[in-house]
Amino acid sequence: MAQKVKADLRGSAAGAVELAGPSKPSDRASIRRSNLGLVLRLLRDSGPRSRTRIAADTGLPKPTITNLVVELAALGLVREGREERSGAVGRPGLTVEIDGRGFCGIGVEVSVDYLSAVALTLRGDELYRHRVALDVGASGQESVLDEIAALVRAALVAADAAGARCVGLTVATPGVVDFAAGTTAYAPNIGWRHVPVLAGLRERLGPDAPPFALENDAKLGAIAEYLVVQDQDIHDMIYVTGEVGVGGGIISGGQLLRGAAGYSGEIGHMPLDPGGHPCVCGRRGCWETMVGMAALLRAVADPEDPVHDPSLDLETRLADVAARAARGDTRTLAALEKLADDLALGVALLADVLNPRAVVLGGYFAHLGAYLIDRVRAGVSRRVMAPDAGGCEVLLSTLGFTAPSRGGAYLALDRVYQDPSAIAGGR
Amino acid sequence: MAQKVKADLRGSAAGAVELAGPSKPSDRASIRRSNLGLVLRLLRDSGPRSRTRIAADTGLPKPTITNLVVELAALGLVREGREERSGAVGRPGLTVEIDGRGFCGIGVEVSVDYLSAVALTLRGDELYRHRVALDVGASGQESVLDEIAALVRAALVAADAAGARCVGLTVATPGVVDFAAGTTAYAPNIGWRHVPVLAGLRERLGPDAPPFALENDAKLGAIAEYLVVQDQDIHDMIYVTGEVGVGGGIISGGQLLRGAAGYSGEIGHMPLDPGGHPCVCGRRGCWETMVGMAALLRAVADPEDPVHDPSLDLETRLADVAARAARGDTRTLAALEKLADDLALGVALLADVLNPRAVVLGGYFAHLGAYLIDRVRAGVSRRVMAPDAGGCEVLLSTLGFTAPSRGGAYLALDRVYQDPSAIAGGR
């Protein structure tokens, strides 16, 4: 119902924008390219299907579909298979499905206390995953770039061993990212200001490296989480990263909402407690000072406690916190209750402003989710102005700390989905 | 540049949604309807132009355009005129432009202390405008519906006198509006909860009334403001209503962002001052308690001062406040400085979350804008995380208190722009 209302209103104030860039392919070659992408995206989003079904779903003639499928198969992007049937009557038909084992995308995340990488095939299968603990703020920027380059090389070796060519690479950092310039403009949690990440990597990886891009971690996390929840008919969603910093990625009507200059989602610095703790940004009481991982750890344990040690693996430290909660440690439970209340405060604000169908809590929130989720949901229901929280559900990420790097890999692969013919002649 | 980056990323996570509703007209009649709308919207958004130019802009063949223009002219929606030339060489060509004097849309706004109505022709010319002071919260809901119906009848009489047929009517109320049900679900500033506005009006106006809809005031205001700023290449914008309540309308990529269930834009209740004033919603320190009109008036003058009297005309009361500021009244100036700082706090939060190209301050903010704008801009620049406030400008509305009703009229007229043939057989 909600979707319908939205669709009805879509055109209301949109004329100029619709008309500004008329998307009429100008020649046969570009029509063909655009149709190749249409078929490939249909197979990704709606699963394997027969040529007849593809023709019906796309509105293109059957002979055109046959030609397009032949071309996609020659590129190594699709293959034929038998339809999975569950209880249907009749002979199973010959279906087309995405192959794409020969291609992968790589995502690398730079976080406050780790670097991580993942390589995914076009089908989303994981070829490689690795995380290294690193105190990014304390390391020099040049040495962090060295580490990223080493991680990328390892991922490329793994992809190569699996027979997959890397079609692209996306690096995720926290903070304000200038996508067009490939620069992290301002990331106070790691002390970066105007760091030319892409230029530094280009220098290290040389001219043969796959094409790469830089994007904000929460935006990439949102892309990865959206691919998980879209099957539940969720197309308006906010992903909240829970790391040392707190960021947001907004999906609106199935699209990443980047904002006018690509700087949307800076939710960690919402001023929710004017008299509160000092923030790395120089102000007081930002939401991040209330719900960031540092705030929780501070509340849970004294400074000398090993849960504060950034050289230890993050998930081990969080498992330690969860174990304390499980055995009923009063200080830990009180800290988690306070965290849930403060989370609800900011999530309700975002739900009031954007009315998403879901807010997905990622990163460390997901790891401690069992101790948070009920109280967060109750708090959000109580606070949101619209009835029934405006239909907004609070969900826990199933991707945890891998969401930003997975999103980076998906974004790299998206190039193929937009223009499958681009991979024909190598890079 | 920003637009380009956005367009590049458009497809990234959108496949499923793009494919969910393939917009392929299924027959000749629907293709024709869709093309009629395409031409009419082009003329609205890009101005008068020749048939040749329309063919080039839409990608449709010239003979098709000629037929479409004949049909639009027969419907009374377009007419032929001479092109305006400024310094161009050669004979001025015959151009097509929107006529539409014969059709109008009506918007009615229900505010805390007034009702207002406007009637606009398809070209946006104002046929009628009227505002009546009314203490809506203190009046019974039935009597408010009576007043709205009377206002609509007066607007219809004025339209009729101008020879314009009303194609639709939109009523704006504050608060959480259930668009699909035609109900104002929760509007604490006027004390409404589950008020079936459309059913009540249908009863009063009878079966011959034009089709009508109900929408949130700030969303309609945003539509009206977007039509003003889109010429400046602004397609990501937040409109902030400044009345007794504070609401928001979000335009993202040229589209009204309604959220999953249509409840987006509840910005008045962002909890920015935990220890602050009590709010009508039952909590403390909502943004509305800091920047709503009641907060300013309370700071400016004691309770017995006539600026508080809701039976006096609103603009007269605000002119009185402005006059006090102009003659240097210390209390008034201090109140306006505080208001500007508190406005900057919330506007910066919204700019961090959504990264709009502009935030437009409407309603009473616009009336007192001269005393607010510099300080708000400075505060926003200082607070937003992205460099240069992420490119976000703070603007004053030029529509003031008429934005919601104008937006209501535009939304009603949009029906014609989406499907011009719908008006052929009466309603």
DSSP letter string over A48-80? Answer: -B-HHHHHHHHT--HHHHHHHHHHHHHTTSEEE
Q: Do B260 and A355 touch (CB under 8 A)?
A: yes
User: Stretch B199-228: mean pLDDT, rounded?
Assistant: 95
Residue A190 reports pLDDT greater than 70: yes
Q: Which of A6-20, A56-70, A408-422 has the lowest mean pLDDT?
A: A6-20
pLDDT for res B10: 26
Chain A residues whose beta carbon lies within 8 Å of the beta carbon of residue B270: 349, 352-353
Which of B59, B248, B383 has the CB atom closest to A22's CB atom?
A: B59
Q: Which of A24-38, A80-94, A368-382, B272-286 has the lowest mean pLDDT?
A: A80-94
* CA–CA distance, A120 with A127 (Å, rounded to integer): 6
Yes or no, beta carbons of A185 and B386 under 8 Å apart = yes
Give the pLDDT band (50/70/90) at residue A83: low
Confidence at A144, pLDDT banded by 50, 70, 90: very high
**Chain B residues near residue A414 by CB distance under 8 angstroms:** 11-12
Instruction: Note whether B93 and B120 are same-domain residues.
Output: no
Whether residue B323 has pLDDT greater than 80: yes
CA B327 vs. chain centroid, Å, equals: 34
For residue B345, list chain A residues with Cβ-Cβ distance below 8 A. 271
- Report the pLDDT value the prediction gives residue A1, as an integer from 0 to 100: 29
Q: What is the pLDDT of residue A410?
A: 95
Rounded to the nearest angstrom, the minimum Cα separation between A19 and chain B is 7
What's chain A's average pLDDT? 89
Extract the tokens encoding B423. Answer: 């008006």
Is the domain of A396 the same as that of A263? yes
By three-state DSSP, how is residue B136 classified? Answer: coil
What tokens were used for A239? 């992903």
From A75, A98, A121, give the residue that closes a domain. Answer: A98
Whether B25 has a pLDDT exceeding 50, the answer reads no
- Looking up tokens 């390892």 gives A154
Q: Which residue of B has its CA nearest to A224?
A: B13
In the prediction, which pLDDT does A85 show?
Answer: 56
Task: Find out whether B40 and B58 touch, Cβ atoms under 8 Å.
Answer: no
Q: Are residues A280 and A367 in the same domain?
A: yes
Q: Are residues A283 and A346 in the same domain?
A: yes
Interface check for A61 against chain B (CB to CB < 8 A): the answer is no
A394 and A260 in a common domain? yes
Say whether both A202 and A351 belong to one domain: no
Given this model, what pLDDT does residue B324 score?
Answer: 97
Picking from A98, A133, A155, the residue at the C-terminal end of a domain is: A98
- Name which of B354, B388, B406 to mutate to probe chain A: the one with the most chain A Cβ atoms within 10 A of its Cβ: B354
Residue B217: strand, helix, or coil:
helix
Give the type of residue at A197.
V
Q: Please tell me the predicted confidence (pLDDT) of residue A312.
A: 87
Residue numbers in B near A393 (CB within 8 A):
none
> Is residue A370 a part of any domain in this protein?
yes
Q: Are A387 and B265 in contact (CB < 8 Å)?
A: no
Q: Which long-range contacts (CB under 8 A, 24 or more apart) does A47-51 make?
A: A47/A97, A48/A81, A48/A83, A48/A84, A48/A95, A48/A96, A48/A97, A48/A98, A49/A83, A49/A95, A49/A96, A50/A83, A50/A93, A50/A94, A50/A95, A50/A96, A51/A96
Tell whether B6 lies on the interface with A, counting CB pairs under 8 A.
yes
Which chain B residues contact residue A12 at CB under 8 A?
Answer: 223, 255-256, 410-411, 414
A263 and B385 within 8 Å at the Cβ level: the answer is: yes
- Section B220-249 average pLDDT: 95
Q: What is the pLDDT confidence band of residue B92, given thresholds at 50, 70 and 90?
A: low
* Residue B425, CA atoms < 13 Å, CB-side half-sphere: 0
State residue A92's pLDDT score: 60
Q: What is the DSSP string of A246-282?
A: EEEEEEETTEE---SSS-----TT-B--TTS-B-TTS
Q: Residue A349: is its pLDDT beyond 90? A: yes
Instruction: Tell me the nearest-neighbour CA distance from A404 into chain B, angstroms.
Output: 14
Q: Give which of A161, A20, A43 is closest to A96, Cα–Cα.
A: A43
* Co-location of A334 and A241 in the same domain: yes
Show residues of chain A in contact with B391, CB under 8 Å: 260-261, 263
Helix (H) or strand (E) holding A220: helix A217-229
How many inter-chain contacts (A to B, CB under 8 Å) are there?
277
Residues B105/B119, Cβ–Cβ less than 8 Å: yes
Chain B nearest CA to A190, separation (Å): 15
Same domain for A178 and A108: yes
Q: Is the pLDDT of residue B55 over 70?
A: yes
Q: How far is CA A109 from CA A127, A146, A267, in A?
A: 16, 14, 19
pLDDT given at position B6: 26
In a domain, B9, yes or no: no
Rounded Cα–Cα distance for residues A221 and A409 (Å)? 11
**Between B11 and A322, where is the model more confident?**
A322
pLDDT at A89 exceeding the cut of 60: no
According to DSSP, the β-strands at A94-98 and B103-110 are: unpaired
The more confidently predicted of residues A21 and B34 is B34
Question: Are A391 and B16 in contact (CB < 8 Å)?
Answer: no
Q: Are residues B135 and B113 in the same domain?
A: yes
Residue type, A139: S
Domain that holds residue A73: 25-98
Q: Is the pLDDT of residue A22 over 90?
A: no
Q: What is the pTM of this model?
A: 0.88
Chain A CB contacts of B417 under 8 Å are 11, 15
Q: Please count the structural domains in chain B.
A: 3
From chain B, the residues in CB contact with A175 under 8 A are 385
| Residue A39 located in a structural domain | yes
**What pLDDT band is residue A26 in, cutting at 50, 70 and 90?**
low
- Tens of pLDDT, residue by residue over B368-410, are 999 999 999 999 999 999 999 999 999 999 998 999 999 999 9
Mean pLDDT across chain B, nearest whole number? 89
Select from B236, B274, B411 the Cβ nearest to the Cβ of A273: B274
| Host H or E run for residue B44 | helix B28-46
> Using CB atoms and an 8 Å cut-off, which of residues 220-239 of chain B contact chain A?
222-223, 226-227, 230, 234-236
Higher pLDDT, B300 or B7: B300
Residues of chain A in contact with residue B290, where contact means CB-CB under 8 angstroms, are none
Q: Which of B30, B204, B15, B31 is nearest to A39 (CA)?
A: B15
What are the tokens at A123?
A: 């089908």
Q: Which of residues 340-369 of B touch A (CB under 8 A)?
A: 345, 349-350, 352-357
Here the ipTM equals: 0.88
- Can you tell me the distance from the alpha carbon of A200 to that of A412, in angstroms, rounded to the nearest whole number? 19
pLDDT digits (tens, 9 = 90+) for A291-346: 999 999 999 999 999 999 888 888 999 999 999 999 999 999 999 999 999 999 99
Percent of chain B with pLDDT over 90: 79
CATH of the domain at B89: 1.10.10.10
Clarify whether residues A206 and A284 are in a common domain. no
Q: Is A10's pLDDT higher than 80?
A: no
Residues 156-195 of B with CB under 8 A from A: 175-176, 179-180, 185-186
Q: How far is A155 from chain B (nearest CA, A)?
A: 23
A249-266: pLDDT as tens digits: 999 999 999 999 999 999
Q: Do both A93 and A140 map to the same domain?
A: no
Q: Tell me, yes or no, whether B306 lies in a domain.
A: yes
Confidence of residue A6 (pLDDT cuts 50, 70, 90): very low
- Phi/psi region, residue B265 (left: phi>0; alpha: psi -120 to 50; beta: rest), is left
Q: Is A248 on the interface with B (CB under 8 A)?
A: yes
**What is the sign of the dihedral through the CA atoms of A226, A231, A232 and A233?**
positive
What are the distances in angstroms from CA A169 to CA B126, B142, B381?
54, 62, 34
Q: How many CB atoms lie within 10 A of CB A290?
A: 24
Q: How far apart are CA A331 and CA A239, in angstroms?
A: 28
Would you call B16 and A230 a contact, using CB atoms and an 8 Å cutoff?
Answer: yes
Chain A contact probe: residue of B263, B341, B410 with most A CBs at under 10 A: B263
CB contact under 8 A, B385 and A414: no
Q: Is the pLDDT of residue A5 over 60?
A: no
Asked if residues B358 and B394 have their Cβ atoms less than 8 Å apart, the reply is: yes
Tell me if chain A has a CB within 8 Å of the CB of B214.
no
How far is A95 from A48, CA to CA, in rounded Å? 6
pLDDT at residue number B84: 54
pLDDT in the model for residue B424:
72
As a whole number of angstroms, the distance between CA B228 and CA B217 comes to 17
Whether A13 is covered by a domain: the verdict is no
Identify the weakest region by mean pLDDT among A99-113, B86-100, B208-222: B86-100
Separation CA A39–CA B176 (nearest Å): 40
- What's the mean pLDDT in A73-96? 74
Residue B10 belongs to a domain: no
In contact, A272 and A345? CB cutoff 8 Å: yes
Q: Under an 8 A CB cutoff, do A2 and B58 touch?
A: no
Question: Between vectors from CA B69 to CA B68 and to CA B72, what angle results, nearest 5°?
Answer: 85
With a CB cutoff of 8 Å and minimum separation 6, the contacts of B265 are A353, A355, B216, B218, B219, B222, B247, B248, B249, B250, B259
Burial call B84-96: b when 16+ CB within 10 Å, e when fewer: eeeeeeeeeeebb
Q: Residue A234 pLDDT > 70, yes or no?
A: yes
- Looking up residue B122, the CATH number of its domain turns out to be 3.30.420.40
pLDDT of residue A90: 56
d(CA A131, CA A151): 9
Is A243 domain-assigned? Answer: yes
Q: Is residue A208 part of a domain?
A: yes
Residue that is last in its domain, among B82, B98, B114: B98
CB B412 within 8 A of CB B106: yes
Could you say which residues from 74 to 113 on chain A have a Cβ atom under 8 Å away from some Cβ of chain B?
none
Taking an 8 Å cut-off on Cβ atoms, the answer to whether B390 and A17 are in contact is no
* A chain contacts of residue B416, beta-carbon cutoff 8 Å: none
Domain identity same for B124 and B254: no
